[in-house]
């Protein structure tokens, strides 16, 4: 028997929330072992690798399907995966936390009881994925191994949740390989002495790192929309944290900053919430779109104007959640939702200038300032930023038109970002219209799209 082993070295390009568990204080924490080390479940790796293998996935990673034999009608046939994922080790430093909330589509403000905090692996974290294939037919199995090895060099898994708000992207930095031939005594001794990831480490430890010619190849995005803005007013994006205030002051609220550069940043979750909420409002006023997307609520699979097997273009773009498990195909397990097509990246604010501002609550009885109600916030007053939306393929024309419409509404001051939009904060001005459709183009696209989805 020939045992082929590989270690794939990945590096996180973005924060990652992998298989979070609910902590004591309600924070969605990263899973850990008894020693406090972050665990990366093999299922997270397997799903991404299977998707990347495409047509080769059935042969290399097995399948489950209904038997076509008339004598065994309805019987389930399961073929196990030839690729074994022995484990995944994360070289995690200090984890980071990010707080977010949902947008109420009716009021445009934060929805009650949706404040949540995620614990994330920071960008730059290195991951080692351990793989193994056992083979008896040397020639046929070597061909399969060569297919897998080639695919590993172009693999760019997106791990964990929050992919549509700019989380989880990785790049393959190197692939190490090794082989054990159990007909040789020395290799048999190694196989009997070591196990699990230690077996892989021992076999490939003396093998030089093979840097992929596509090193740095991240998740492929064949469609991209960008827009650059400048700040037209102050901007405050909360970090979910507070700094203790002086006597008579409430705690100060700092501005959110990027994990790598410490620059002020607009997170992808903010962009996604703004675009989804505004697009739903536009569709609602036009009398188009499914109720699940417009209401921003999980709905029964059979209701709301689009089905799980043929979802509407807007649910495909932003993702959808069902109230009960849905069987999309006989050969795959039931699911409770779909991941969105669009990916909203964080926007770092360049050339930023900031200041602290205060405001006080009014005592309704006296009309003066309320005692111990002096609030302090750090806001950005000047700066430039770029909005980037990507997708593995172009979304439907109606989705593209609505994205352009929301960008135009932001430029017109109809939609604000962050805190205090009713107090003059959160306004942006479009500085580059190259990739943004004109209103005439938007209207023509919406006339066609609204007729199709109404």
Residues 24-66 have pLDDT tens digits of 666 788 888 787 788 888 888 888 898 889 888 888 888 877 6
Can you tell me whether residue 50 is helix, strand or coil?
helix
Q: Give the pLDDT band (50/70/90) at residue 450.
A: low
How many residues are recorded in the chain?
454
Segment 120-130 mean pLDDT: 90
Instruction: Give the dihedral of Cα atoms 245, 251, 257, 259; nearest 10 deg.
Output: 90
> What is the residue whose two structure tokens read 């990652």?
16
pTM: 0.80
Specify the pLDDT at position 427.
95
In the 8-state DSSP scheme, what is residue 206? T
CA nearest neighbour of 130 among 152, 107, 112: 152
Name the most confidently modeled range: 195-199, 328-332, 383-387: 383-387
Contact 271/340 with Cβ under 8 angstroms?
no
Specify the pLDDT at position 228.
96
Q: Does 407 have pLDDT greater than 90?
A: yes
* CA dist., res. 372 & res. 148, Å (int): 64
Q: Does 213 have pLDDT greater than 70?
A: no
**Edge-to-edge strand ranges of the sheet holding 126-135:** 83-91, 126-135, 2-12, 170-181
Please, is 274 exposed, middle or buried when counting C-beta atoms within 10 Å of its C-beta (0-12, 13-18, 19+)? buried
* CA dist., res. 202 & res. 181, Å (int): 14
In the 8-state DSSP scheme, what is residue 395? -
Contact 213/174 with Cβ under 8 angstroms?
no
Q: Where are the domains of the chain?
A: 2-204, 223-453
Contact 84/351 with Cβ under 8 angstroms?
no
Q: What fold, for 2-204?
A: Immunoglobulin-like (2.60.40)
* CA dist., res. 290 & res. 280, Å (int): 9
* CA dist., res. 406 & res. 242, Å (int): 31
Please, is 302 exposed, middle or buried when counting C-beta atoms within 10 Å of its C-beta (0-12, 13-18, 19+)? exposed
Give the phi and the psi of residue 170 in degrees, each rounded to 5.
-130, 165
Tokens of 129: 């994925």
Q: Work out the widest C-alpha separation in the chain, in whole angstroms.
A: 91
């Amino acid at each position: 028997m020939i045992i082929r082993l590989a270690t794939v070295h990945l590096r996180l390009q973005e924060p990652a929330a992998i298989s979070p568990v609910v902590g004591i204080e309600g924070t969605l924490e990263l899973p850990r072992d008894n020693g406090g080390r972050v665990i990366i479940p093999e299922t997270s790796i397997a799903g991404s690798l299977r998707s990347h293998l495409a047509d080769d996935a059935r042969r290399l990673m097995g399948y489950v399907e209904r038997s076509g034999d008339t004598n065994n009608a309805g019987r389930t046939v399961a073929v196990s995966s030839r690729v074994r994922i022995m484990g995944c080790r994360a070289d995690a430093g200090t984890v980071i936390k990010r707080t977010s909330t949902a947008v109420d589509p009716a009021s445009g403000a934060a929805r009650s009881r949706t404040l949540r905090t995620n614990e994330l692996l920071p960008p730059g974290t290195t991951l080692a994925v351990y793989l193994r294939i056992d083979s008896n037919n040397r020639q046929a199995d070597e061909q399969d191994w060569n297919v897998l090895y080639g695919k590993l060099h172009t693999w760019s898994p997106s791990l964990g949740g929050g992919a549509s708000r700019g989380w989880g992207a990785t790049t393959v930095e190197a692939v190490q390989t090794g082989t054990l031939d159990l007909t040789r005594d020395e290799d048999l001794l190694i196989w009997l002495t070591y196990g699990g990831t230690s077996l892989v480490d021992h076999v490939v430890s003396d093998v030089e790192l093979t840097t992929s010619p596509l090193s740095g190849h991240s998740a492929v995005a064949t469609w991209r929309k960008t827009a650059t803005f400048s700040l037209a007013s102050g901007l405050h994006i909360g970090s979910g944290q507070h700094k203790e205030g002086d006597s008579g002051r409430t705690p100060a609220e700092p501005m959110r900053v990027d994990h790598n550069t410490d620059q002020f940043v607009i997170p992808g979750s903010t962009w996604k919430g703004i675009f989804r909420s505004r697009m739903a409002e536009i569709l609602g006023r036009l009398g188009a779109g499914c109720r699940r997307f417009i209401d921003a609520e999980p709905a029964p699979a059979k209701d709301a104007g689009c089905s799980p097997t043929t979802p509407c273009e807007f649910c495909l773009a932003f993702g959808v959640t069902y109230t009960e498990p849905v069987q999309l195909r006989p050969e795959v397990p039931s699911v409770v939702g779909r991941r969105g097509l669009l990916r909203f990246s964080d926007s770092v604010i360049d050339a930023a200038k900031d200041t602290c501002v205060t405001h006080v609550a009014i005592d309704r009885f006296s009309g003066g300032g309320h005692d111990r109600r002096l609030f302090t916030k750090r806001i950005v007053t000047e700066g430039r930023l770029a909005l980037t939306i990507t997708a593995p393929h172009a979304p439907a024309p109606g989705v593209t038109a609505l994205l352009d419409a929301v960008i135009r509404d932001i430029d017109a001051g109809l939609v604000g970002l962050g805190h205090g939009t009713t107090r003059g904060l959160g306004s942006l001005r479009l500085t580059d219209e190259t990739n943004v459709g004109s209103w005439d183009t938007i209207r023509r696209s919406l006339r066609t799209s609204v007729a199709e989805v109404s």
